Structure 1
Amino acid sequence: MPDLTLGLCSVTFRNLDVPGVLAAATGAGLAGVEWGSDVHCPDPATAREVRRLTDAAGLRALSLGSYFRAESHDDDFRPVLDTALALGAPRVRVWAGTLGTDASDSAHRTRVTQELQVAADAAAEAGVELALEYHRSTLTDTLESTLGLLEDVDRANVGVSWQPNVDQPTEDALRHLEALLPRLAGVHCFSWWPFDARLPLEAREDLWLGAAEVLRRADRPVDVMFEFVPEDSPAALARDAAWLRRAIGQD
């Protein structure tokens, strides 16, 4: 199996400060953090301090989890990129617009594509990758739309951060992961069922053991980042991380 780096999305613990997030990650035996730009890492000055604390904890900044939405007139990618560079993050999570596929027309899709191209070119010049959030109410809300968008954007440094869609059956979720594998930038790891009811990771063992099997066929290392643990609990994170390590043979 390619190397799977287990990490944490800091948005899982918006109620904790940066040292608290780092303590939760190290307590769970994780290797790095995707730092969210909404609370923990909003600007370059803060990012430099987050980087110092992350390094001191012996962890890596896996990604900047931004809320940049291509096509939104309120968003400017340059400050996001500057924050990622100050953080030392190799990747920025971005969003494919503000509308879902069914609500979009060709003009909207063109604007999203063009803004992603501009952002990708700026990121590539700085040696940074972009990861489209695989998420409802954006142009990555279906597999077909996501694959088409990646083809239209046509930038080697743009991939996808996969996660199971809400209420998506296991077989269908794994089919999506398999199809996205060539452009996979990372995985957000959680168990919701039904809808957004948070469960221990083991409660969807078929999904996550199946995902691990799919990831065996990746041709490069993959970051698997825990998100949305039950009750926003560091203890739940530690439990889920221990289970996944055992399941994939890292223990």
Structure 2
Amino acid sequence: MTPDHDSQIHEAQPADQGRRPRLLRHGLCSVTFRPLPVVKVIELAVSAGLSVVEWGADIHVPPGDLAVAREVRSRTAEAGLAVGSYGTYVYLGPDCEFGPVIAGALALGAPRIRVWAGRTGSAAVTAAERAAVVASARELAARAEDAGLTVGLEFHDGSLTDTAESTLALLADIDRPVINTYWQPPPGLDDGATLAGLDLILPHVIAVHACSLSPTGRWLPLDARRRLWEAVVARLVARGVPTDVLLEFVLNDDPLQFAEDAQALDAIIRGA
């Protein structure tokens, strides 16, 4: 289970606005600015010099609204940006409906769908709940593969991807190459433990959500954890697989802080 298929799609997307293509594309998750309209999110991404957008399904591109998805796709392309992924709030488990998000991803031109690995953390999940998540993931894998899409699991607490170890075990149980995982720094860990977890699941990382939280959970400018992000980017570059690194949430939801974080991320990627 490696992100090779997603990488091939990644390479086919537009290059960075006239610059040479990068191994790592830096971008934005639209959920960072949920209250803003699509056109403003695009303006912020362009002004920050970003390359790619993960459009969220909760506000900007609702599942089932294919007209909106097509319009967002067109506006994104006109701005010189790529659509990297469709960030959905599908929670794997019983009675999942995948049709609207698959249709939405295709209309949006997103090569990848992000979903959640259930609603229960790995320490509390029952065997039946876990089996339901695995079965649901396998069903999604078959449908996504038929549609030419890849799938990334949100790496997040309150789900079966709440730790690197649990994520690795879940991916082994699902055992479908089309499904891999996102990654972001888990809350409450220092740099060493954070990087050790990344090292464990790095072969399966399909995209990265870049945010900056202190080990105690306080929001910081991205540059405040520059050493961590330099180490993360160095690992991604050494791996040699094209990967999206997407800014997700910023201190005080501030567009000016977002611009600073984008500049810091760009400098880190360029310096790798």
TM range (shorter): over 0.9
Q: Structure 1 CA distance, aligned partners of 2:42 and 2:135? A: 36
Quick one: percent identity of the two aligned structures?
44
Question: Quick check: 1:197 aligned with 2:205?
Answer: no
Q: CA deviation at 1:219?
A: 3.1
* Partner residue, 2:201: 180
Alpha-carbon distance, 1:166 to partner: 1.1
- Compute the displacement of 1:206 (Å): 1.9
1:217 match = 238
Q: What SS class does the counterpart of residue 139 from structure 1 fall into?
A: coil
CA distance in 2, matches of 1:25, 1:196: 26
2:192 maps to 171
**Aligned counterpart for 2:268 among listed residues 206, 227, 247:** 247
Partner of 2:16: none
Is 1:46 aligned with 2:62? no
How much has 1:194 moved relative to structure 2?
Answer: 4.5
2:167 to 146, 169, 172: 146
Runs in 1 of length 4+ with deviation above 6 angstroms? none
User: Which residue type is aligned with residue 218 of structure 2?
Assistant: A
Counterpart residue number, 1:22: 42
2:24·2:237 contact (CA, 8 Å) conserved in 1? no
Q: Deviation digits for residues 119-153 of structure 1, max 9, x if unmatched? A: 01100111100000010010011222111110111
Q: CA deviation at 1:197?
A: 2.2
TM-score of the pair, normalised by structure 1? 0.95
Q: 1:20-169 maps to which residues of 2 (within 5 A)?
A: 20-42=40-62, 43-73=65-95, 75-169=96-190
Residues 72, 97 of structure 1: 8 Å contact kept: no
Give the secondary-structure state (helix, strand or coil) at the position aligned to 1:239.
Answer: helix
What's the RMSD between the two structures over aligned residues? 1.4
Could you say which residue in structure 1 is the equivalent of 2:3? none
Instruction: Structure 1 unaligned segments of length 5 or more: list them.
Output: none
Does the CA contact (< 8 Å) of 2:164 and 2:198 recur in 1? no
- 2:73 is paired with a residue of what secondary structure? helix
In the alignment, the residues of structure 1 paired with residue 66 and residue 26 of structure 2 have an alpha-carbon distance, to the nearest angstrom, of 25
Counterpart-to-counterpart distance in 1, 2:58 and 2:189: 27
Q: CA deviation at 1:234?
A: 1.9
- Equivalent residue in structure 2 for 1:237, among 254, 258, 265: 258
Does the Cα contact within 8 Å between 2:24 and 2:269 map onto a contact in 1? no
Q: Which residue of 1 aligns with 2:18?
A: none
Query: Contact between 1:4 and 1:222, CA under 8 Å: does it hold in 2?
Result: yes
Q: How far apart in 2 are the matches of 1:245 and 1:195?
A: 26
Structure-2-length-normalised TM-score = 0.88
Aligned length, in residue pairs: 249
The whole-number CA distance in structure 2 between the counterparts of 1:186 and 1:147 is 15
Deviation at 1:45, TM superposition (A): 2.2
Q: 1:48 to 1:242 in 2, by over 3 A?
A: same
Q: Which runs of 5+ in 2 are unaligned?
A: 1-21
Q: Distance in 2 between matches of 1:23 and 1:11?
A: 15
The answer to whether the 8 Å contact 1:131/1:159 transfers is yes
